[in-house]
Structure 1
Amino acid sequence: MADNIESSTLPFESEINDLPEEDNAKEYADTALVSLVSLVTSFKSILLKRNKTILGRNSAKCSEGGVLQGTTISSTHCEITSRSLVDASAVIWIKDISSNGVWVNAKRIAKDEPTKIFSTDIISFAPGPVDDNGDSPAFLLVDKRKKAEDSNQVKEHAKRPIDATENDKDDEDKVDEEPGKKKTKLDEDAAFEKEFNCGICHEIMHKAHVLQPCLHAFCKGCCKGWLQRSTECPTCRQAVVRTKRDFKLNNLIEAFLESRPHMKRDDLGDDDGADSDSSDVVHTRRNLGLGRHGGGDTDDEDDHEDDESEDDDDDGQNMPLPLNFHRHPDACPCCDPSNTLGYVCPAGVRLQSLGPNPSIWQYTRRRVRQPGHLQCQDCRNHLPDIPHGQPERVMDLFKCKMCGIPSCGCQTRSVEDRITQNAILDGILNYAETSIINDYLTAKALTTGSVWQEIKDGMDNGDYSYLRMPGQPALQGQGVTSSHKLCRRCETKFHANGPLYQWRKAIDPAQLPANVMARQDCWWGRECRTQFNVANPSHAERLNHICERRRGNS
């Protein structure tokens, strides 16, 4: 079963039905990445160690650790299955096989029909809100898996039953041994499958819809579920105005699946009869609910008839976050009237702290952008939406100085921060120049913190500054000081074409090895893109890029 643990996701029928209950569970006994965290004190949490886990009352029929006692528990109550317990692209399914029912985020799922579940979904075996002291178990699904490397996905893809001749398979083995060979049908299939994958469920898109204005595409059902919880694109975080069915993309996917019937997905019943190119799911967005299956009130009155437990906004108040939940969203730092940051949010939009033990409902609501605020692009914490006219020093506290994206500072750093953290120099210049710098520091018994201190001094006295790149605004990096914070992308661009580049260029040539100084200058200098190509490392080793561009200059 070791191969099954690492293989990619297939449609449910071919992916799950043949899985045995027992597999190499001992390998994951202490490192299970998927678990059911109990929300009721009288029940223990469950580590999902098998591809198929059966929960219920009968110890002879249920999986180890999956035996539950309670008045609402059937002999065999539900099955939780997944093709892989380590790859986040493998979907997790739950199937109700009981006589009493299974609820996901307060909505009962259909019996004997597999339903996808996702991290932070709440699974309960009785209707209504979770009672911490009740006799009916309820769990929070926690998924800590990471997505497999693309190379592994391609290799596992080769194991799937597709229309390929034996010669194609032989060619694939040759490609693995000789990278220069022509790509095979399997490689092309893997490339197409990657393009056709939905970024939410990680399966082939079903009735693909594009979000506007960003034009990222997802399954229609996934769009609906996502837009119940957020108004932003899950890929780029841009506000979604509307969605449209992409007929050309759907035709391409249909043609791709004609010769690959094993990859087709069942009709999920999410079309609503909206087959026109103006089919828009934004207008059906619900008010904020608990997870991807809903759980809140809807704007459509017909939906109320199907929601037995959605007539009360207090349903989630008694559902606490797990005790080991890694972090809570902080209140906006400028909502505190006594703050010393130089700005106080208007009284009408001030956010209160959630406190030490917020409920899942409170946490989920806070994760959505609140009126009068921005959100950090990395951690989603709220920041003040400071109007123009405020001092620049105040506005710079909550954004990247170069691109202006909102940031609380969790992933943005200044040169002063890098000094105190003794931050590494890797990932800014090409790997060959980074290696040269590290060898130089070792020979001189210097630390990276001392390099950043020299850069700070050079920026403060005007020796080091940002050098404009072609196609970029002339003033984009101008005015950045050692105390200004830059996001990860801008920070790399700023130092590679400014302070770190200038510091490296100022090193006395006599202090560097002869073979380093003997290299010829690249025609494109620091603007060369090939120097960062990991598939062609010899270019960065053979040529010097600590110089200005010569090709094309008058």
Structure 2
Amino acid sequence: MSHTDSSDVALPTGSTNLKRRASPSFEGMSDGMGRKRMREGAEQDNSAVQIRDHVDAIDGSKLADELEQELQCGCCSALVHRPVIVSPCQHFFCGSCCALWIQNGGTNCPACRSVSTSVTPSRILQSMVDVLVRSAPNKARSMNERIQADEIYHPQMMLRIPSPRQASPEPNVPQTNNGFVQPCPHCLLGNNFGWRCPQPIVDPETEPERAWHADEGTPPGHGYCGNCENILALHAPSTSKCDFCQVSFCGVGIPNRCVAAPLLSQHLQGLSDLGDLIQCSEIYDCFDHNTVEVDIMLDYLTAQRLTPRHIYREIVTHIQNQPRQFAPLIELELFMDLYTVGGGVDPDPSAPRHRICRLCATEILLWGLRDWWIRERKKGILDDTEWNRPDCPEGSACSRQKDHGRSYSMTHARLLSSSCHF
């Protein structure tokens, strides 16, 4: 059979269509799917056009305003300058605002008041500020603001926000009975101290007719503790008197506080570590509010790990080596009216001083801190940049040193040594 004939061979009727028919459930699917795909494609095209239109419609000025709002300092409410982040709360502030917060006695985070573990510069926030200022120069802080802020803080400075100090326990003050003075701890017969007042105060609960009324003054042989203000026996073994303010302390009310300790053993009031010194506003008074010199000193104390108590001891030792010792401080009435209770009369202003209270010890530290820093600088421990600063020829009479309203006063303080103050 030829090839031409083979094409004419009749196939069986059942073999004319070998492809299996689709299920009736799929009939009409191809047209629907095509229309659906076309519809989805059109929607995608419309979405892309809308996105492009939205991008084209973004208002650059509005975006800059919104970004400026997000980058506002939590203290000054202006665009943050040299931002620092407080951990762990992650609030951020201008470095200068945070430094001033600490100098003025601020504790914890300025925004949420939570405990701060560290304060670090933020390069990410600084980059965002730089991008904003490049695109919108009108958002930048003024030149004078930036100069003044840089005089207060620079990124190499160490910042630490101190936590609030734990409050002293409340003294157990005996309740008075109708204005009568209660017996002191040593007045009671068989007390636990092994010593009884030779002139005990009568208990108004048991003998009201013989009780001592507060309007009659202080009972004989007694006084009031400068710290807890409880009644005390002046001659009790536990009682001590400060040789500077002449105030007595009971020694039994609050441990380590109701006592006048030996000069070199006493603690300072509220200045236990460097963090307390950083937030103590009085140290800026010692330096005529020259924050530059104070920052240099604080950096030095941090590097040398010197505590306020160490400085106090060196100041006391230096004063004791002077011919008149503490007499000049007594003449200045430096230790007057430190307590609400009255002190005794100083029998001899030139007499040796052996015991001191916490408040008087703190007064000595603040009085001698400036001169201590001068002596410390002369040791040559500071780096050459600080050590080689020339002295201001005007000395303590320098007017620019105290001109806080002008930015060049701080520049002047940076270039000249601390003798500008003294």
Normalising by the residue count of structure 1, what TM-score does the alignment of the two structures yield?
0.26
The structure with the larger Rg is: 2
TM-score by length of 2: 0.33
More contact order relative to length (CA 8 Å, sep ≥ 6): 2
